[in-house]
Structure formats: C-alpha cells, structure tokens
C-alpha cells in the first residue's frame, strides 16, 4: 500500500484507471436505470414510485460510503502520514455530499406519496441530513486549511469524529420507531423481490464505479494544484534569495 503513496506511481495508475471506472460506471448505471424504469413492473403497494429505489438506494449507500472513505483516508494520514491520504479524503468529500443530497431529495419525493409528507424528523432522515452538514463542514475546513497552509491534521480529526454518524444512520431504523422501512438487505438475505433486486444491485455497482472514477479524477486535479503551488513557492523563494 505504501508504494501507491508515491505521487508518480499513483498518477501512472490513475491515468488509465480513471476513464475505465467512469466509462464502466456510466454504462452500468445507464443499463440499471433503463432496466428499472422500463422493464420492472410496478410494486404491489407503492406502484410506479418504487422506481425511485434505483437512484435513492445507491445514493444513500455512496453518501455513507463517501464519509467512510474520508474516515479511512484520515486515519491513514494520521497514522502513516501517507502523502496522498489527505488528498483522497478531500477528493471523496464533494461526490459524497452530492450523493447524500440526491438521497435526501429522492427520499423526500418518494416519501410524499408513500407517507403523505415530504419530510419527517425521524432517526434515518435526520441523521442523513446531519451527514450532509458534516460534508459541508469538512469541505469548508479542508479548503480553509489548504488556503492558509495549515496542518492537515485538523480536517483529518474532523473526518474521524464525523464517522460516528455512519453507524447511527445504519442502525437508526432499528433503534428508533421510524416511518422509514427497516433494512431490506442484510448479511446473507434480502427482503426485496428478485425482480427489483437485480437492477438495484447493478445500479449500486454502476454508481460505485462512477464514484471511484470521480474521486480519482479529483485526486489528480488536487495533486496537480499542490505540485503547481509548490513549484510557484520554490520559484518565489529563489527570486527572493537572488
């Protein structure tokens, strides 16, 4: 793992892996959404609104997955001082926030005909909203640290502390009474009918590949900015000494 902390080696890998992840993610996501929208029958209880499932669930998964990536990258940075770990955390923040916002929006649209309301302050919805605010806070903090050339330990610690919210989101429908349905997919079993499960799993894979491709692309951009800034700093220092 330490070998990939070398920026040159990372860029060599990311150069071909980024378009591969983005291309395959777009293809699989398009197939899954077309399958879910046009080929899946209406649900017995929810009717055609069940089709939101194929965007809502992958978005929820990647909203939580994005912060998990931030927490893992932050831990790697704090423990092993990997030079790319903090960049990986920063790169995962924006797509993670976008997927969290999509999850909240689609959940609200789904909830209106199903629950009769756009929003309820139950455990699952509230903890997902908290996650979105955590993303906003992390992005503002990491940008401030980068701008002021301060210690990257500060956003890394924030990333680890914010990870406390992930198990709360996951277990909220079990711990508290909620309008939100209980977990439909658990270890080794699923309460979702196979006609919905297959395109759903394909959508999760497709969205996940897209997420990975976006994170790699953002890491490359952040690394290029960091290297350009370092070159400008060395040039300014050389001119000052001359």
Domain assignment of residue 87, yes or no:
yes
| Overall average pLDDT of the 11-15 stretch | 90
Count of domains for the chain: 1
104/128 Cα distance (integer angstroms): 7
| Tokens linked to 92 | 């995962």
The residue that leads in pLDDT, 129 or 48, is 129
Domain assignment of residue 35, yes or no:
no
Domain assignment of residue 28, yes or no:
no
60/79 Cα distance (integer angstroms): 29
The C-alpha torsion from 202 through 204 and 209 to 211, rounded to 10°, is 160
Domain assignment of residue 133, yes or no:
yes
Domain assignment of residue 32, yes or no:
no
Range of the domain at 92: 52-181+193-230
* Band of pLDDT at residue 1, cut at 50, 70 and 90: very low
Domain assignment of residue 68, yes or no:
yes
| Overall average pLDDT of the 28-55 stretch | 90
Spatial contact of 201 and 31, defined as CB atoms under 8 Å apart: no
| Tokens linked to 63 | 């909203």
Domain assignment of residue 90, yes or no:
yes
Q: What is the pLDDT of residues 86-144, one digit of tens each?
A: 999 999 999 999 999 999 999 999 988 888 888 888 889 999 999 999 999 999 999 99
Domain assignment of residue 188, yes or no:
no
Is the pTM for the entire model greater than 0.95? Answer: no
């Amino acid at each position: 793992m330490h070998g990939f902390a070398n920026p040159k080696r990372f860029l060599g890998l990311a150069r071909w892996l980024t378009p591969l992840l983005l291309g395959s993610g777009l293809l699989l996501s398009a197939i899954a959404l077309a399958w879910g929208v046009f080929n899946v029958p209406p649900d017995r209880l929810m009717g055609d609104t069940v089709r939101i499932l194929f965007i809502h669930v992958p978005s929820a998964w990647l909203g939580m997955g994005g912060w998990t990536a931030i927490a893992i990258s932050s831990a790697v940075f704090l423990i092993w001082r990997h030079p790319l770990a903090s960049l990986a955390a920063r790169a995962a923040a924006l797509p993670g926030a976008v997927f969290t916002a999509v999850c909240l929006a689609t959940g609200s649209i789904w909830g209106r005909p199903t629950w009769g309301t756009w929003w309820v302050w139950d455990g699952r919805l509230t903890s997902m909203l908290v996650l979105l605010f955590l993303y906003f806070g992390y992005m503002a903090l990491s940008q401030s640290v980068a701008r002021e050339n301060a210690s990257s330990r500060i956003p890394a610690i924030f990333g680890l502390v914010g990870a406390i919210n992930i198990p709360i989101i996951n277990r909220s429908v079990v711990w508290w009474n909620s309008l939100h349905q209980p977990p439909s997919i658990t270890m080794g079993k699923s309460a979702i009918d196979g006609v919905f499960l297959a395109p759903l799993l394909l959508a999760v894979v497709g969205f996940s590949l897209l997420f990975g491709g976006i994170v790699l692309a953002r890491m490359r951009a952040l690394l290029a900015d960091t290297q350009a800034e370092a070159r400008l700093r060395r040039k300014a220092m050389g001119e000052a000494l001359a």
